[in-house]
Structure 1
Amino acid sequence: MTTHLSSQVNHNVSKVRVKKRFVAGAKCPQCKATDSIVLFKEHGVETVECVECDYRDQQTEEQVAAKATGDVIGVFKP
């Protein structure tokens, strides 16, 4: 019975959903599709992904902060 419970727990852990948010007006640098970019955190790393093609990019919190300039109003943490 312990084996069954253990496999059930492992199965439930793999179903953790990641909250993805579309970035309004964003254009994919690869396929140039507009409004196709989603932003989410994967293992604590900010990730962007295009839902139209296979484009994907990641950056750490330090990289996000380093890119922030006076032109940016704020850096939002989902």
Structure 2
Amino acid sequence: MPVRKRFIAGAVCPECQTRDSLAMWRENNVDIVECVKCGHQMREEDKQPRDRAREQEQVIGIFHPD
């Protein structure tokens, strides 16, 4: 079964700064995001905690497409 990739609307690649070029998929319980223009990849285990919390923002919920 082929891997189903989904584009992330409005997202900007941190490497090449191209908007709407990031595709996301799940592989072995790891979220992978890749820029289809430059090939830059980010994986769930690469995430680093933020240095500071944004105190004026609140998370209502997290969307997990299945």
- Tell me the TM-score normalized by structure 2: 0.71
1:1-78 superposed matches below 5 A: 16-59=1-44, 70-71=58-59, 73-78=61-66
Change in CA separation of 1:34 and 1:40 when aligned onto 2, cut-off 3 Å: same
1:2-39 Cα deviation digits (max 9, x unpaired): xxxxxxxxxxxxxx310100000000000000000011
Letter in 2 for 1:55: H
Which structure has the greater CA radius of gyration? 1
Aligned length: 58
Q: CA RMSD in A?
A: 2.5
Q: Distance in 2 between matches of 1:23 and 1:50?
A: 10
Q: Which of the two has greater helix per residue? A: 1
Greater than 6 Å deviation, 4+ residue runs: none
Q: What is the SS of the residue equivalent to 1:71? A: coil
Task: Using structure 1 for the length normalisation, give the TM-score.
Answer: 0.61
State the shift of 1:74 in Å: 1.6
Runs (5+) with no aligned partner, structure 1: 1-15
Matched AA of 1:73:
G
